[in-house]
C-alpha cells in the first residue's frame, strides 16, 4: 500500500523510537526516507541493516512519499504538513497543532479506529497524558457511560524532551554534590521536587496541558458532555507518566467488573494486588507499549465512582507507538477493504 514512507523528526527522541518500531514490527515499504532539521541533516543512521543519510526537511521531500510519520514542534507541523498533503502524502502527526482541527481525526487505534476513514490527508495522534487516560476510560465508558473524570498526572521529564531529561540528571547530580545547576527547561528545580504547572496558563487557571486533556478526551470519545477536571504535575521521574484517575459513571461499575473490562481491552495490562504490593510503577513500565492499570477501587465518597492508577511510557504509547499503530491501521484497512489511504 505504501511504496514510500518518511519519518520526520527522525533523529529526535520520539523519531528514534518510531524508527525502532517500524523495524521491529516489520513495517514494509519500497523506500524509507528520514527527515530532520538542518542541524541533523547529513547524519547517518542504521535501519533494517542499511545505512541512511538524514535529509533536511523541505516541501519537495514529499513529492514521491505516500506516508509520513512526523514528530516535530507545532510550528514546523503547521508549516510543512499542508505542503506534504498537497503533494499526495498522508501524514500521521505527533504535534499538537492539528489535534483539535475539526477536519482532522484524532485517533487512538484501540479506541476510535473508524475515525481514520474520515481523514483528508492528516491524522493526529493525541497528547501523551490524554492517550493513556482515554484508553483506560474506553471500556468503562462503553459499559457504564462516564459522566465525569478527575485526573492528576505525574509526568516524567522525558515529556519535556531532551532538555527536560538533562535538567533532571544535571539538577539531581548538582543537588547531591551541593553545587548549583542552571536549569535550561524548567522554571523551578525538578530534582527532588514537583512542579504543578505543565504548559502555559489557559482557561480559568488551568494550563495548556490540562486543557488538552479536556478537549482531546471529548473529541476522541465523541462525547462533548464528559466533564474532565485535570491537574498536571511534572515529577522527578525520567520516563513514564503516571495518573491517578477517578471516574463517575451513569451505571455503577464494580471493582470486579472494572478489572475484567480492563483485562479484556487490547493494549491494557492489569497489575492490581495491593496486598502483595503489585501495581504499575514507572520503573516497571518503561520501554513497554501497553497502558498499565492498578489500585482499582470504589470511590467511597460517591455511589458510582471508580478510582484507579494508570502508568504508561509517554514516549511509546503516548507518542511513537500510537503513531506507528495508526500507520498500521491505515495499511490494514486499505488492504482489507476499499478504504482510501
**Residues 114 and 207 grouped into a single domain:** no
Q: What is the pLDDT of residue 338?
A: 53
From the list 61, 89, 128, 165, the catalytic residue is 128
SS (HEC) of the chain? CCCEEEEECCCCHHHHHHHHHHHHCCCCCCEEEEEECCCCCCCEEEECCEEEECEECCHHHHCCCCEEEECCCHHHHHHHHHHHHHCCCEEEECCCCCCCCCCCCECCCCCCHHHHHHCCCEEECCCHHHHHHHHHHHHHHHHHCEEEEEEEEEECHHHHHHHHHHHHHHHHHHHHHCCCCCCCCCCCCCCCCCECCCCCECHHHCEHHHHHHHHHHHHHHCCCCCEEEEEEEECCCCCCEEEEEEEEECCCCCHHHHHHHHHCCCCEEECCEHHHCECCCHHHHCCCCCEEEEEEEECCCCCCEEEEEEEECCCHHHHHHHHHHHHHHHHHHHHHCCCCC
pLDDT of residue 2: 82
- Say if 61 falls within a structural domain: yes
Region 167-187: mean pLDDT is: 97
Distance CA 181, CA 336 (A): 56
- Top-confidence residue, 340 or 169: 169
Is the residue at 210 inside a domain? yes
Place 333 in a pLDDT band, splitting at 50, 70 and 90.
confident
Whether residue 168 sits in one domain with residue 151: no
Entry pTM: 0.94
Q: Rounded to the nearest 5°, which phi and psi values hold at 267? A: 90, -5
Asked if residue 283 and residue 257 are part of one domain, the reply reads: yes
175 and 90 share one domain: no
In a domain, 341, yes or no: no
176: nearest Cα among 190, 193, 195, 192: 192
Give the pLDDT mean for 278-305: 97
**275 lies in some domain:** yes
Instruction: pLDDT band for 87, please (50, 70, 90 cuts).
Output: very high
259-280 pLDDT, tens digit per residue, is: 999 999 999 999 999 999 999 9
Is 288 buried (19+), middle (13-18) or exposed (0-12) by CB count in 10 A?
A: middle
185 and 266 in a common domain: no
Residue 16 is assigned to a structural domain of this protein? yes
Q: What is the pLDDT of residues 211-264, one digit of tens each?
A: 999 999 999 999 999 999 999 999 999 999 999 999 999 999 999 999 999 999
Q: 25-84, pLDDT tens digit by residue?
A: 999 899 999 999 999 999 999 999 999 999 999 999 999 999 999 999 999 999 999 999
Mean pLDDT (the chain, rounded): 96
On whether residue 20 sits in a domain, the answer given is: yes
Is 255 a domain residue? yes
Q: Are residues 84 and 146 in the same domain?
A: no
As a whole number of angstroms, the distance between CA 274 and CA 181 comes to 39
- Tens digits of per-residue pLDDT, 117-135? 999 999 999 999 999 999 9
Domain count, the chain: 3
pLDDT at 1: 62
**Is residue 241 among the annotated active site residues?**
yes
220 shares a domain with 168 = no
For this structure, is 128 an active site residue?
Answer: yes
The enclosing domain of 134 has a CATH number of: 3.30.360.10
In terms of domains, do 140 and 116 share one?
no
**Residues 254 and 308 grouped into a single domain:** yes
CATH number for the domain that contains residue 100: 3.40.50.720
Residue 257 lies in a domain: yes
| Each residue's pLDDT tens digit, 139-163 | 999 999 999 999 999 999 999 999 9
The pLDDT value recorded for residue 340 is: 52
| pLDDT of 5 over the 80 cut | yes
Predicted local distance difference test score (pLDDT) of residue 4: 95
**Structural domain span for residue 216:** 129-156+196-313
Beta bridge partners of 310: 243, 293
Mean pLDDT of 310-314: 98
- Are residues 95 and 77 located together in one domain of the fold? yes
Please pick, among 141, 241, 285, 310, the residue that the annotation labels catalytic. Answer: 241
- Selected residue with higher pLDDT from 311 and 1: 311
Do 88 and 177 have their domain in common?
no
The answer on 151 and 254 residing in a single domain is yes
Lowest mean pLDDT among 110-114, 215-219, 246-250, 332-336: 332-336
Which of 142, 170, 193 delimits the end of a domain?
193
Amino acid at each position: 500500500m505504501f511504496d514510500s514512507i518518511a519519518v520526520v523528526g527522525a533523529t529526535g527522541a520520539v523519531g528514534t523510537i518510531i524508527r525502532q518500531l517500524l523495524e521491529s514490527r516489520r513495517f514494509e515499504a519500497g523506500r524509507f526516507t528520514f527527515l530532520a532539521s538542518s542541524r541533523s541533516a547529513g547524519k547517518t543512521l542504521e535501519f533494517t541493516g542499511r545505512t541512511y543519510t538524514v535529509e533536511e526537511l523541505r516541501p519537495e521531500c514529499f513529492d514521491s512519499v505516500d506516508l509520513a510519520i512526523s514528530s516535530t514542534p507545532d510550528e514546523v507541523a503547521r508549516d510543512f504538513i499542508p505542503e506534504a498533503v498537497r503533494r499526495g502524502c498522508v501524514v500521521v502527526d505527533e504535534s499538537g497543532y492539528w489535534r483539535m482541527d475539526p477536519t482532522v481525526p484524532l485517533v487512538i487505534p484501540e479506541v476510535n479506529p473508524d475515525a481514520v476513514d474520515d481523514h483528508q490527508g492528516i491524522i493526529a495522534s493525541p497528547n501523551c497524558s490524554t492517550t493513556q487516560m482515554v484508553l483506560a476510560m474506553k471500556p468503562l465508558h462503553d459499559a457504564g457511560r462516564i459522566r465525569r473524570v478527575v485526573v492528576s498526572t505525574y509526568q516524567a521529564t522525558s515529556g519535556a524532551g531532551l532538555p527536560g531529561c538533562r535538567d533532571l540528571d544535571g539538577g539531581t547530580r548538582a543537588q547531591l554534590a551541593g553545587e548549583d545547576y542552571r536549569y535550561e527547561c524548567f522554571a523551578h528545580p525538578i530534582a527532588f521536587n514537583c512542579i504543578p504547572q505543565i504548559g502555559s496558563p489557559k482557561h480559568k487557571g488551568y494550563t495548556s496541558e490540562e486543557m488538552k486533556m479536556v478537549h482531546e478526551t471529548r473529541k476522541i470519545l465523541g462525547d462533548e458532555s464528559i466533564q474532565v477536571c485535570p491537574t498536571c504535575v511534572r515529577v522527578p521521574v525520567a520516563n513514564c507518566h503516571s495518573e491517578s484517575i477517578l471516574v463517575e459513571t451513569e451505571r455503577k461499575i464494580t471493582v470486579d467488573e472494572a478489572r475484567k473490562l480492563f483485562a479484556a481491552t487490547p493494549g491494557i495490562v492489569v497489575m492490581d494486588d495491593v496486598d502483595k504490593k503489585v501495581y504499575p510503577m514507572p520503573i516497571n513500565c518503561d520501554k513497554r507499549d501497553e497502558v498499565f492499570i492498578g489500585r482499582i477501587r470504589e470511590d467511597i465518597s460517591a455511589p458510582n465512582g471508580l478510582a484507579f492508577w494508570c502508568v504508561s511510557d509517554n514516549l511509546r504509547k503516548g507518542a511513537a507507538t500510537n503513531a506507528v499503530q495508526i500507520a498500521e491501521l491505515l495499511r490494514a484497512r486499505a488492504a482489507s477493504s476499499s478504504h482510501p489511504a
